[in-house]
Structure 1
Amino acid sequence: MIAVNAATPLRVEAAHDPALQPALRECVARAVRRYLSDVDSEPSEGLHALVVAEVELPLLREVMSWYSGNQSRAAAALGINRATLRKKLHQYGLS
């Protein structure tokens, strides 16, 4: 069994490992449940955008760090165009 926690770096190749995908899903599910509990089950509109932004920022930061700032390799690992990656990095102030 593979254990993943916040301190464990996740290799991009491992993202396709079926054993790790449920761990990531469960982490997101727990965070959403906690958020809904904290706002007393009445979140403001835009919950999807909030969750995407909260996940995307650390995702971009970690992937860019993993590839030592190489945008071409990071974009390939993320499965997005390099121009899209640059736009997102700028959006989050990571450029």
Structure 2
Amino acid sequence: MNTATFFADAKTTPTPATTTNQGQSLRGCVEQAMDNYFKHLDGQDVSNVYDMVMAEVEAPMLEIVLKYTRHNQTRAAEVLGLNRGTLRKKLKQYGLL
């Protein structure tokens, strides 16, 4: 199963209270997506699930926070609770810088 399929059933619009427009928490969306992923493996070997999930979640999170802060990296780092250098490293990692 590819990563696009992994989160296909859990895509929703977050609100400040970390709930979706259907009232489901972000955690609930991740749980649902993970459950869906494992149910549809069809016997395929799986590895590096952590890296797959982080790549699927972290990149769009960074994009949204940058948009929210109007690309102010110092403010984005504060919002994320990251060191600005760490933020820049992650932005480069995902091709966002």
TM bin, normalised by shorter chain, reads 0.7 to 0.9
Counterpart CA distance in 2 for 1:88 and 1:31 is 24
- Count of aligned pairs: 84
Counterpart CA distance in 1 for 2:77 and 2:45 is 33
Q: CA RMSD in A?
A: 2.2
> One-letter code of the match for 1:38?
H
Aligned to 1:78: 80
Q: Which of 91, 94, 97 is equivalent to 1:92?
A: 94
Q: Where does structure 1 lack aligned partners over 5 or more consecutive residues? A: none
Q: TM-score, normalised by structure 2?
A: 0.75
Which aligned segments of 4 or more residues in structure 1 are displaced greater than 4 angstroms? none
Q: TM-score, normalised by structure 1?
A: 0.76
> One-letter code of the match for 1:7?
T
Name the structure where helix makes up a greater proportion of residues: 1
1:88 match: secondary structure: helix
Q: Where does structure 2 lack aligned partners over 5 or more consecutive residues? A: 1-10
Bigger relative CO (Cα 8 Å, ≥ 6 apart): 2
